[in-house]
């Protein structure tokens, strides 16, 4: 089945993806490190029974897969980086068609997230809350009239909801406006992070914008607020792109063509070089035709040429090379394959 990121979506010139995540806990089960392995197993079995395989759900026991596969799942945003590193019992439930993934026994008992390409808040809201309703009908979710949904971290109290939109903002980045934008967003209760979320730096002019406040505000208000702000940011990015004069447009188109040439011929591609060329190529699509290059192809790349994925693609004929170089060879091959499809 086609991966959530291997599709088209609204507003692809600026918007990469949309995610809504819900943190939920079950009554009468301890939180965090207080949850024993036995209780965790009991909880995982109960949640798994709500999402049977015959209804299209794929269930993965995280203790049965190697660290490299965990890393791949995190790079493709099915799980959080923290869940990928956690050695405690855990379960991943996926439904690829809806872009739904559920982490069981992460920081909270249950983390529901719905992912979609482009700017698709309504679609993500529907997917996430449909999954929550299934859980709510089967298990008692911890809730307080005063504090809302009870969560392991106090910063998630209230709705327990994080709305996150990933945007491609090269014009704002090159105009050195991101620092100012970050400060403005913080005043409005939003935060800006890199592609991999909390603690990550921006690569490829990719930024995730999400809400910080979950207490004292409704789900509808949060979604409306994030939607309004990211739309304004997207419009500011588009207006800056339009201000480029004919000379600048030619330079951008030239950089995109050069980037494509390297992608088609390179034998080695480091992660840093990949993102530099990818940025030039993706921005170039706003100004010039580049054959059969599309936003779909380019966005597929950022989820399929990351370090863990490349470690799974090492070939025997590069066995004599240093591991970093072997990975860079694999990345160059992967990029060519995606471009050729």
What does the pLDDT look like over 280-301, one tens digit per residue?
999 999 999 888 999 999 999 9
Look at residues 188, 208, 241 and tell me which one is the last residue of a structural domain. 241
Q: Residue 65: which H helix or E strand, with range?
A: none
Q: How many CB atoms lie within 10 A of CB 312?
A: 12
Q: Are residues 83 and 108 in the same domain?
A: yes
Q: Are residues 83 and 128 in the same domain?
A: yes
Per-residue pLDDT at 201:
63
Q: Which two tokens stand for residue 133?
A: 């309703």
Per-residue pLDDT at 195:
80
Q: Are residues 255 and 195 in the same domain?
A: no
106-137 per-position pLDDT tens digit: 999 999 999 999 999 999 999 999 999 999 99
- Please say whether the dihedral angle defined by the alpha carbons of residues 129, 135, 138 and 143, taken in this order, is positive or negative: negative
Per-residue pLDDT at 84:
94
pTM over 0.85: yes
Q: Are residues 153 and 231 in the same domain?
A: yes
Q: Are residues 222 and 254 in the same domain?
A: no
- Cα angle for residues 263, 244, 262 (degrees, 5° grid): 10
Q: What's the structural domain count of the chain? A: 2
Which SS3 state, helix, strand or coil, does residue 64 take?
Answer: helix
Q: Which domain holds residue 78?
A: 15-241
Residue with tokens 């840093």: 272
Look at residues 222, 241, 260 and tell me which one is the last residue of a structural domain. 241
Per-residue pLDDT at 198:
60
Per-residue pLDDT at 181:
96
Q: Are residues 205 and 261 in the same domain?
A: no
Q: Are residues 215 and 262 in the same domain?
A: no
Q: Are residues 66 and 157 in the same domain?
A: yes
Task: Please list the ranges in the chain whose pLDDT falls under 70.
Answer: 196-202
Per-residue pLDDT at 33:
84
Please indicate, yes or no, if residue 1 is contained in any of the structural domains: no
Q: Are residues 148 and 252 in the same domain?
A: no
Q: Are residues 214 and 269 in the same domain?
A: no
Q: Which of 93, 125, 126 is nearest to 109 (CA)?
A: 93
- List, in order, residues 6 or more apart from 248 with CB less than 8 Å away: none
Please indicate, yes or no, if residue 237 is contained in any of the structural domains: yes
Q: Indicate the pairing of strand 110-117 with strand 143-144.
A: unpaired
Q: How many CB atoms lie within 10 A of CB 174?
A: 13
Q: Which two tokens stand for residue 265?
A: 């011929």
Please indicate, yes or no, if residue 30 is contained in any of the structural domains: yes
Answer yes or no: are the C-beta atoms of 312 and 76 closer than 8 Å.
no
- With both helix axes pointing from N to C terminus, report the angle between 121-138 and 219-242 in degrees, rounded to the nearest 10: 160
Q: Are residues 102 and 183 in the same domain?
A: yes
- CATH code for position 160: 3.30.590.10
Look at residues 217, 241, 265 and tell me which one is the last residue of a structural domain. 241
Q: What is the share, in percent, of the chain residues with pLDDT greater than 90?
A: 90
């Amino acid at each position: 089945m086609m991966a959530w990121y291997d599709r088209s979506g609204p507003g692809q010139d600026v918007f990469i993806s949309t995610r809504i995540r819900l943190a939920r806990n079950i009554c009468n089960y301890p939180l965090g490190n207080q949850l024993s392995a036995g209780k965790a197993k009991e909880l995982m079995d109960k949640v798994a029974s709500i999402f049977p395989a015959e209804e299209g759900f794929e269930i993965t026991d995280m203790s049965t897969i190697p660290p490299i596969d965990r890393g791949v799942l995190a790079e493709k945003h099915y799980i959080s980086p923290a869940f990928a590193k956690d050695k405690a019992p855990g379960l991943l439930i996926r439904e690829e068609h809806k872009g739904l993934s559920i982490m069981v026994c992460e920081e909270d008992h249950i983390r529901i997230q719905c992912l979609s390409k482009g700017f698709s808040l309504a679609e993500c809201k529907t997917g996430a809350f449909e999954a929550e309703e299934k859980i709510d009908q089967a298990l008692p979710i911890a809730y307080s009239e005063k504090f809302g949904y009870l969560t392991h971290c106090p910063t998630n109290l209230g709705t327990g909801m994080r709305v996150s939109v990933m945007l491609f903002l090269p014009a704002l980045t090159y105009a050195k406006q991101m620092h100012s934008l970050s400060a403005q967003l913080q005043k409005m209760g939003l935060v800006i992070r890199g592609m991999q979320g909390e603690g990550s730096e921006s690569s490829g002019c990719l930024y995730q914008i999400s809400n910080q406040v979950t207490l004292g505000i409704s789900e509808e208000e949060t979604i409306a607020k994030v939607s309004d702000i990211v739309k304004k940011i997207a419009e500011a990015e588009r207006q800056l792109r339009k201000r480029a004069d004919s000379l600048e447009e030619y330079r951008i188109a030239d950089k995109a063509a050069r980037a494509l040439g390297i992608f088609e011929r390179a034998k080695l591609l480091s992660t840093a070089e990949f993102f530099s060329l990818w940025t030039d190529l993706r921005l170039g699509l706003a100004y010039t035709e580049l054959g059969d290059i599309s936003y779909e192809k380019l966005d597929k790349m950022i989820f399929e040429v990351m370090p863990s994925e490349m470690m799974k693609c090492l070939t025997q004929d590069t066995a004599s090379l240093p591991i970093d170089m072997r990975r860079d060879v694999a990345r160059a091959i992967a990029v060519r394959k995606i471009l050729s499809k």
